[in-house]
A and B are shown apart, each in its own frame.
Chain A
Amino acid sequence: MHAAGPATRPEAVAPPLLQARRLCFDAGGRRLIDRIDAEIRAHRRTVIMGANGTGKSVLLRLLHGLIRPTAGEVLWQGRPLDRAGRREQSMVFQRPVLLRRSVLANLRFALAVRGVDGPERATREAKAIERARLGDLAKRPARVLSGGEQQRLAVARALACEPRVLFLDEATASLDPASTHAIEELVREAQDSGVTIVLITHDIGQARRLGEDLIFLHAGRVVESGPVADVLGAPRAEATRAWLEGRLHLGPPGHGTS
């Protein structure tokens, strides 16, 4: 993601798939997202970081069309994001939302509502089961799986819909290192097959491992963006520096930005 703002760095050249234009979102009398301009570039892995409550999840939901912006707009391939555009996106939540059905039935439901049926559906189900390494558990109730298995299923289900963009909202936040590694492998495989990745994480190591571009939010605004190594290696914004050093930064978004 490339964001216009006070600490923007040179970005890799790739066509923008998603764009946020002067995006604002208000809730409960508060401005949670404040005039964000940003671009998601195709086939890239973009990491969104920032302290709790800075609007990361809200931004992801706006980009995916789960909520409508108070002002501004989200563009999909240059046009306002609509149902057709949203159908080319998938999202994985921090806590996997699985139906009270078997592993296989969860995959089947997602594919059915996307209009995939017949041999194509069977092929995608088998591929997703294999991808998530849940072959022995395909007929088990999804909600009795371990946390890691459930999240693998959620990612595999999202990828079975063959999205062009995969959003991950802190998908590994409550997982152990092995389960986190498995999810990261799935994400890399997805990108290798051409899927654009946008993920939120608080894990600096994960951001370095997975991310190519990084956007840093503070108080609902983008305070810094650019290649992950640059932003994390030499942060320019005070909010980014404070966060990396484990300090609480309560200043305004632009405060201390170099």
Chain B
Amino acid sequence: MESFWGILADAMSLILAWDADLIEIIGLSLRVTVTAVAIACAIGLPVGAAVGSFAFPGRTAAAVILNSLMGLPPVVVGLIVYLMLSAAGPLGPLGLLYTPTAMIIAQTVLVTPIVAALTRQVVEDLHREYAEQFSSLQVGPLDRVLALLWDARYSLLTVALAGFGRAVAEVGAVIIVGGNINHVTRMMTTTIALETSKGNLQLALALGVVLLAMALVVNAGVMALRASAVRAAYV
């Protein structure tokens, strides 16, 4: 077996050579993950904001459920989505199993509770500060939610980032519903698992390096945005 440094050198060569397989896998991973996070934000942000800013019976229970769902085991989510999409499942006729769409659905199920739960906390804290002023101005429910989401926008970027981190690093659910089919549903994480088991460590490590680099770039970008927001007292 090659040394770690030898494998790393080969992995870097693959990246620098802009290897077609590598690019395809990265592209699919980004498409699936970004789409899932976008859908999760579209659902989770308003749900979290509503739970965080409205008083209604069962609000505490809703918050507890959201928090609990943050820890959903990916393989369980994968199994449930698999059962829903399989030929015998209620969504079987759609023929989505082993497609990127199936992986988007699984990741959305995993990420939405994270976005909703963290949004609830952020919005609740902000609403505590704004509540009397909003009440004095008689801000309506929709305006209130929109205002809170807008004013918490920089904190919510971090929330979206947490969702992205969870989705992009996820392997259990997408491998069950996607099947890790070459050129169809092969993601970075599933490829790393597969190629490692096959002994193709160069490609696995190359993907690992790209995954880490992506996490670094996205984090740095969000931190820079937040820093500018803090300077403007927008956080």
Interface residues of A (CB under 8 A from B): 61, 64, 66, 83, 86-87, 89-91, 93, 97, 99-101, 109-110, 112-114, 141-144, 161
The docked-state distance in angstroms from the alpha carbon of A187 to that of B136 is: 18
Q: Is B147 an interface residue (CB 8 A)?
A: yes
The docked-state distance in angstroms from the alpha carbon of A97 to that of B136 is: 11
A-side contacts of B147, CB under 8 Å: 99, 109
The docked-state distance in angstroms from the alpha carbon of A97 to that of B129 is: 7
Residue ID in chain B nearest A86 by CB atoms: B138
Evaluate contact between B234 and A100: CB separation under 8 angstroms: yes
Interface residues of B (CB under 8 A from A): 129-130, 132-133, 135-140, 143, 147, 150-151, 232-235
The docked-state distance in angstroms from the alpha carbon of A89 to that of B151 is: 25
B50 smallest CB distance to A (angstroms)? 18
Taking A97-B132, A114-B138 as known contacts, 6 extra A-B pairs with beta carbons closer than 8 A to each other, sorted by chain A number, are A89-B136, A90-B136, A93-B133, A112-B143, A113-B138, A141-B232
B-side contacts of A61, CB under 8 Å: 132
The A interface, classified by DSSP as helix, strand, loop or mixed, is mixed
Evaluate contact between A99 and B140: CB separation under 8 angstroms: no
Evaluate contact between A113 and B151: CB separation under 8 angstroms: no
A68 smallest CB distance to B (angstroms)? 12
Number of A-B contacts (CB under 8 A): 47
Evaluate contact between A101 and B151: CB separation under 8 angstroms: yes
The docked-state distance in angstroms from the alpha carbon of A100 to that of B133 is: 13
A-side contacts of B135, CB under 8 Å: 66
B-side contacts of A101, CB under 8 Å: 150-151, 234
The docked-state distance in angstroms from the alpha carbon of A91 to that of B131 is: 13
Kindly identify which residue among B130, B143, B232, B234 contacts A113, using a CB–CB cutoff of 8 Å. B143
Residue ID in chain B nearest A163 by CB atoms: B136
Residue ID in chain A nearest B152 by CB atoms: A100
Residue ID in chain B nearest A110 by CB atoms: B137
Given contacts A141-B232, A141-B233, A143-B233, contact A99 B151 (CB under 8 A): yes
Residue ID in chain B nearest A154 by CB atoms: B133
B140 smallest CB distance to A (angstroms)? 7
Between A66, A89, A99, A144, the greatest number of chain B beta carbons within 10 A of the residue's beta carbon is seen for A99
A-side contacts of B232, CB under 8 Å: 141, 144
B-side contacts of A109, CB under 8 Å: 147
Between B137, B140, B235, the greatest number of chain A beta carbons within 10 A of the residue's beta carbon is seen for B137
Evaluate contact between A97 and B140: CB separation under 8 angstroms: no
Residue ID in chain B nearest A89 by CB atoms: B136
Evaluate contact between A97 and B133: CB separation under 8 angstroms: yes
Between B129, B132, B133, B150, the greatest number of chain A beta carbons within 10 A of the residue's beta carbon is seen for B133
The docked-state distance in angstroms from the alpha carbon of A100 to that of B138 is: 19
Evaluate contact between A113 and B235: CB separation under 8 angstroms: no
Evaluate contact between B130 and A64: CB separation under 8 angstroms: no
- 19 A-B pairs within 8 Å (CB atoms) are namely A66-B132, A90-B136, A91-B132, A91-B136, A93-B132, A97-B130, A97-B132, A99-B147, A99-B151, A100-B233, A101-B150, A101-B151, A109-B147, A110-B137, A113-B138, A113-B139, A114-B138, A143-B233, A144-B232
The docked-state distance in angstroms from the alpha carbon of A87 to that of B136 is: 8
A-side contacts of B235, CB under 8 Å: 100
The docked-state distance in angstroms from the alpha carbon of A190 to that of B116 is: 44
The docked-state distance in angstroms from the alpha carbon of A61 to that of B131 is: 13
Can you list the 4 inter-chain pairs with the closest CB atoms, starting with the nearest?
A143-B233, A97-B133, A100-B151, A141-B232
A142 smallest CB distance to B (angstroms)? 8
The docked-state distance in angstroms from the alpha carbon of A12 to that of B133 is: 32
The docked-state distance in angstroms from the alpha carbon of A209 to that of B152 is: 40
A-side contacts of B129, CB under 8 Å: 97
The docked-state distance in angstroms from the alpha carbon of A86 to that of B138 is: 8
B-side contacts of A110, CB under 8 Å: 137
The docked-state distance in angstroms from the alpha carbon of A123 to that of B138 is: 22
A31 smallest CB distance to B (angstroms)? 22
A81 smallest CB distance to B (angstroms)? 12
B-side contacts of A100, CB under 8 Å: 151, 233-235
B-side contacts of A114, CB under 8 Å: 137-138
A-side contacts of B233, CB under 8 Å: 100, 141-144
Evaluate contact between B133 and A113: CB separation under 8 angstroms: no
A-side contacts of B143, CB under 8 Å: 112-113
Kindly identify which residue among A93, A113, A141, A144 contacts B140, using a CB–CB cutoff of 8 Å. A113
B-side contacts of A91, CB under 8 Å: 132, 136
Evaluate contact between A87 and B151: CB separation under 8 angstroms: no
B-side contacts of A144, CB under 8 Å: 232-233
